[in-house]
Amino acid sequence: MPDTPQQDSPQQNIAPPDSRLALANRRIVLGVTGGIAAYKSAELIRRLKDLGADVRVVMTPAAQEFITPLTLQALSGNPVHTTLLDTEAEAAMGHIELARWGDLILVAPASADFLARMAHGHGNDLLTTLCLAARCPLAVAPAMNQAMWASRSNQDNIALLQARGIPLFGPAAGEQACGDVGPGRMLEPTELAHLTAGLFPRQLLTGTRITITAGPTREAIDPVRYISNHSSGKMGFALAEAARDAGAQVTLISGPVHLPTPDRVQRIDVVSAQDMYDASLGALKQTDIFIATAAVADFRVENSRNQKIKKQDNSGTIQDGRMTLTLVENPDIVAAVASHSPKPFTVGFAAETQDVENYARQKIARKGLDMIVANDVSRSDIGFNSDQNAVTVIWPDGQQAIDLASKAQIARDLVTLIATHYQQQHKNAR
């Protein structure tokens, strides 16, 4: 028995802010192997989740002798994976898919037997197979009796793993369950969570919460007709991906578009400008940066009908072959966000056909923006439905052009520029 069960220590909030930032949105496959330290894996899951990670647990058969899959399932909030050749589990998430899902495979506790199998490239259970199939980094937290730890075989295996660059967390020295004293105890969950966070480098927008509006809005005339525009949502979706890749937590508020939700982005679907307004203001508590790429309909139909309007309508809407609709102005979402206190760093878009810079600067002032991305929609090669764009980014005392490129590339450049100005503003505010 490698480890001594101890009383659970009182819950501490030991993780410095950097650990919290580093693990937000990260996916960790936690491998649990057979040893008494497996009981600490339950606490480790909580610590990793507290720091924002999404955790999926894989247990070896021996691990299940020490702690039940049900416990780890309840704590991780995800089904626990236990066998390689289980058709039902494979149908839900195949082992190769699981190996690809993770940003890291952390094996804690890692028994001497598991380390030996890993070192020699075995694939005779789910966890070793995952370690072979993984493209992501691996890390291990050994736990075993001190004599087993010191044994020549084990030390040779450890040397093999270290030569492959696999980080070794611990083991710690101390009293063991069998009464021995020496190295072999698994590190405490809090320290392990910390070391895990340390494996992920800080990115440009790590820990920053970004809300993006995208696509068109639809303003109902009646249950079957609406007023809308040609916005495809591509620019907003590309920005959501670029911001996520820079480490941000992204909420994407989208009007009706035909685009798949980017991985690890929280999407809120809306239809009308009023829906988008409500969702945007509702997201403000969790927003550091707000980017309004949506082509919001400026006007809505004053009294949209509950029933389909007939050609022979006699309510005054249709008369002498003319249909009359009264349109009323929609709320300006980005202006409302920019006048909110506390105000997120607010970025608008300006689609113009002439005098682009001048109109964009006026819009910055009128809407209270920190930055505006202006594009010339009179050009047929860029803009609305195109996969390409070329923009000029304008802020109160400067500007920068981003030349014709894919919307994905423009999005990456924009994210860098937005992050730089946001951080500058923050530094000045401190």
Among 63, 80, 195, 334, binds ligand C5P (CB under 6 A): 334
Q: How far is the CB of 105 from ligand C5P (least distance, A)?
A: 41
Tell me which stretch binds ligand C5P (CB under 6 A): 78-86, 134-142, 345-353, 417-425.
345-353
Q: Is 349 in the site for ligand C5P (CB under 6 A)?
A: yes
Q: How far is the CB of 234 from ligand C5P (least distance, A)?
A: 14
Tell me which stretch binds ligand C5P (CB under 6 A): 39-47, 194-202, 325-333, 401-409.
325-333
Tell me which stretch binds ligand C5P (CB under 6 A): 103-111, 145-153, 196-204, 342-350.
342-350
Between 31 and 348, name the residue whose CB sits nearer to ligand C5P.
348
Q: Is 382 in the site for ligand C5P (CB under 6 A)?
A: no
Angle at 413 between CA 250 and CA 387, to 5 degrees: 85
Q: How far is the CB of 373 from ligand C5P (least distance, A)?
A: 8
Measured between alpha carbons, how far is 56 from 23 in angstroms, rounded to an integer? 14
Q: Is 296 in the site for ligand C5P (CB under 6 A)?
A: yes
What is the SS3 string spanning the chain?
Answer: CCCCCCCCCCCCCCCCHHHHHHHCCCEEEEEECCCCCHHHHHHHHHHHHHCCCEEEEEECCCHHHCCCHHHHHHHHCCCCECCCCCHHHHHHCCHHHHHHHCCEEEEEEECHHHHHHHHCCCCCCHHHHHHHHCCCCEEEEECCCHHHHHCHHHHHHHHHHHHCCCCECCCEEEECCCCCEEEEECCCHHHHHHHHHHCCCCCCCCCCEEEEEECECCEEEECCEEECCCCCCHHHHHHHHHHHHCCCEEEEEECCCCCCCCCCEEEEECCCHHHHHHHHHHHHHHCCEEEECCECCCEEECCCCCCCCCCCCCCCCEECCEECCCEEECCCHHHHHHCCCCCCEEEEEEEECCCHHHHHHHHHHHHCCCEEEEEECCCCCCCCCCCEEEEEEEECCEEEEEEEEEHHHHHHHHHHHHHHHHHHHHHHHC
Number of residues that bind ligand C5P (CB under 6 A): 14
Among 212, 294, 415, 418, binds ligand C5P (CB under 6 A): 294
Q: Which of residues 260-279 bind ligand C5P (CB under 6 A)?
A: 273
Between 155 and 353, name the residue whose CB sits nearer to ligand C5P.
353
Beta-strand pair 289-292/209-214? parallel
Measured between alpha carbons, how far is 54 from 287 in angstroms, rounded to an integer? 21
Q: Phi and psi at residue 277, in whole multiples of 5°? A: -60, -50
Q: Is 371 in the site for ligand C5P (CB under 6 A)?
A: no
Among 58, 161, 212, 333, binds ligand C5P (CB under 6 A): 333
Task: Tell me which of 93, 136, 168, 178 is the catalytic residue.
Answer: 178
Among 184, 207, 233, 348, binds ligand C5P (CB under 6 A): 348
Between 95 and 300, name the residue whose CB sits nearer to ligand C5P.
300
Q: Which of residues 186-245 bind ligand C5P (CB under 6 A)?
A: 213
Between 221 and 239, name the residue whose CB sits nearer to ligand C5P.
239
Cα torsion 73, 75, 76, 81 to 10°: value is -20
Among 43, 332, 370, 376, binds ligand C5P (CB under 6 A): 332
Between 35 and 348, name the residue whose CB sits nearer to ligand C5P.
348
* 136: annotated active-site residue: no
Q: Is 350 in the site for ligand C5P (CB under 6 A)?
A: yes
Tell me which stretch binds ligand C5P (CB under 6 A): 53-61, 85-93, 252-260, 329-337.
329-337
Tell me which stretch binds ligand C5P (CB under 6 A): 201-209, 319-327, 331-339, 375-383.
331-339
Tell me which stretch binds ligand C5P (CB under 6 A): 140-148, 170-178, 347-355, 400-408.
347-355
Q: Is 391 in the site for ligand C5P (CB under 6 A)?
A: no
Measured between alpha carbons, how far is 17 from 50 in angstroms, rounded to an integer? 12
Q: How far is the CB of 171 from ligand C5P (least distance, A)?
A: 54
On the 0-12 / 13-18 / 19+ scale of CB atoms within 10 A, 217 is buried
Q: Is 292 in the site for ligand C5P (CB under 6 A)?
A: yes
Q: How far is the CB of 50 from ligand C5P (least distance, A)?
A: 35
Q: Can you give the binding site for ligand C5P, defined by CB under 6 A?
A: 213, 273, 292, 294, 296, 298, 330, 332-334, 348-350, 363
The residues annotated as belonging to the active site are 178
